[in-house]
Amino acid sequence: MATALTFDPVTLPPEAEALRGEVRQFVADTLGNEHRRNSDFGASHDPEFSRALGQRGWIGMTWPTQYGGGGRSFFERYVMTEELLAAGAPVGAHWIADRQSGPLLLRYGTEAQREFFLPKIIAGECFFSIGMSEPDSGSDLASVRTTATPVDGGWVVNGTKLWSSGAHRNHYMITLVRTDANPDSRHAGLSQLIVDLRNSAGLTVRPIRNLAGDAEFNEVVFENCFVPADRLVGEPGNGWAQVTSELGYERSGPERFLSAFRVFVELLREVGREPTEHQAAVLGRMAAHMMTLRNMSISVAGMLESNRNPVVEAALVKELGNNFEREVPELARLVAPATASSLFRQTLEDTILHAPSFTIRGGTREILRGMIARGLGLR
């Protein structure tokens, strides 16, 4: 239990703080002062912005320089991402490739895969989707039924992937498939394949509209879709371990408590310089939560930097962070002035409409609480 509660203090190193100013300036120069929504909403896919970031060396910052990476620390990447998210920058296009596909290839990919994909990702020109969930496999990921059957020169894939964000416009999808139909255990016999979303026969991508009206996530149907042998990531049958490591990158970052940040900013603008006592308390409560969460999240970045595997700590950050970002619009609507601008209302409504996804994506609240309970020795 002691490990789950120990979030050692981390002071961001000077080079990370120096980068903060650069990113802030870049955002101001590139995006100007116009109103911005939260980063992960519909308008967040912007290949031009991603390319501009790539030119700055801000994608694949922590990756080895031999592939064109920045060889920089997790702390610098942390600062870069939190600055972009807080500003509502359109980071959607390259986000998954930078956060988890690249690191996965670095850890498990072949040399040829690294040399082929990483420089393109780093340049902000190659975007990835996640192909994990299926119509009958959500939280119970080990139950996936999409199959890959070995054939001459590769694999033939059949099945359906679901909720794959950006698959309708990204280049590749790392797809979790069953390569062994009769494994020893349900966690065995899984593998990961890099599927070319733009140049594969037998592949259909259908956008699914969400309740907010966006069509961001997709159904991806494989019908005898051929994937070349050299697109297998890691060892056949090692998919479960690989997917688990990939999810670790997903859970503790600033995106887990900044999803509603623009509401906080715009509420402050509406309230103005002379808040009522109640408005001040609500704003202060948000700040107290955010500062504590950020502090915990940076501590987890420190654990990643020292090659630890902070599964429970990351789950705690996501649990607390998601609860907070769900709460922000709920608090804001009750203290916003009746005269609030339509700009504020737009930001608030966007967030209310997207809030149900906060506690589902990247592991549902219930799954994460189960992981924390395991850390407590309860299961």
Partner 1 sequence: MNETTQMMLESAERLLRDACPKAVVDAAEGGQFPEALWTELEALGLPNACLGEGQGGVGLPLAEGFTLLRLAGRYAVPLPFAETLLGRALLGAEGPKEGLAGLLTIALPSPAGGFDPVPFAPWAQWVLVAREGADGALMLHCVAVKALTFSDARPGLAGDLEARLLAGVPETGGFQSPMAPTLERLRGLLALSRAVMIAGALESALELSVAYALERKQFGREIAKFQAVQQQLAVLTGEVAAALRAADAGLEALDSPREATAWAVAKARAGEAAGKGAEIAHQVHGAMGFTHEHQLHHRTRRLWAWRDQYGHEAYWQARLGRALCAAGADALWPELTATA
- Is the separation of the CB atoms in 157 and 227 below 8 Å? yes
DSSP state of 137: B
Q: Whole-number minimum distance, CB 51 to partner 1, in Å?
A: 25
Write out the DSSP string of 82-131. Answer: HHHHHTT---HHHHHIIIIIHHHHHHHS-HHHHHHHHHHHHTT---EEEE
Minimum CB separation of residue 317 from partner 1 in Å reads 9
Residue type, 162: L
Which of residues 244 and 295 has its CB atom nearest to partner 1 in the complex? 295
* Residue with tokens 């056949």, as numbered in its chain: 236
Give the nearer residue to partner 1 in terms of CB position, either 33 or 307: 33
> Least separation, in Å, of the C-beta of 39 and partner 1?
13
Which is it for the CA torsion 215, 217, 219, 222, positive or negative?
positive
Which residue, 109 or 321, is less far from partner 1 as judged by CB?
A: 321
Q: Phi and psi at residue 367, in whole multiples of 5°?
A: -65, -45
What is the nearest approach in angstroms of partner 1 to the Cβ of residue 350? 17
The CA-CA-CA angle for residues 96, 98, 102, to 5°, reads 100
How many C-beta neighbours within 10 Å does residue 334 have? 10
- Cβ contact 131:196 at 8 Å: no
- Report d(CA 271, CA 264) in Å as an integer: 11
- Among residues 169, 175, 170, the alpha carbon closest in space to that of 192 is found at 175
By CB under 8 A, name the binding residues for partner 1.
1, 4-5, 7, 9, 11-12, 17, 20, 82, 86-87, 261, 264-266, 268-269, 271-275, 277, 279-285, 287-296, 299, 316, 319-320, 323, 366, 368-370, 372-373, 375-379
Report the residue number, 195 or 293, with the smaller CB distance to partner 1: 293
Residue 121 Cβ vs partner 1, minimum distance, rounded to whole Å? 27
Q: How far is the CB of 334 from partner 1 (least distance, A)?
A: 14
d(CA 4, CA 173): 33
Distances (CA, A) of 228 to 57, 157, 198, 242, 243: 31, 11, 14, 20, 20
Dist. CA 264–CA 290, nearest whole Å: 10
Helices (H), the chain: 2-5, 14-31, 47-56, 74-86, 92-96, 102-108, 111-122, 239-251, 261-271, 277-305, 311-335, 342-358, 365-375
Q: Judged by CB, which is closer to partner 1: 245, or 292?
A: 292
Nearer residue to partner 1 within complex by CB, 85 or 96: 85
> Minimum distance from CB of 360 to partner 1 (Å)?
16
Q: How far is the CB of 41 from partner 1 (least distance, A)?
A: 18
Q: Closest distance between partner 1 and the C-beta of residue 374, in Å? A: 9
Nearer to partner 1, 243 or 300 (CB): 300
Length of the chain in terms of residues written: 379
Give the nearest distance from C-beta 292 to partner 1 in angstroms: 5
Residue number, 120 or 345, with CB nearest to partner 1: 345
> 225 vs 312, which CB is nearer to partner 1?
312
Query: How many CA atoms lie less than 13 Å away from 183 in the CB half-sphere?
Result: 21
Helix axes 261-271, 342-358, angle to 10 degrees: 150
Nearer to partner 1, 148 or 290 (CB): 290
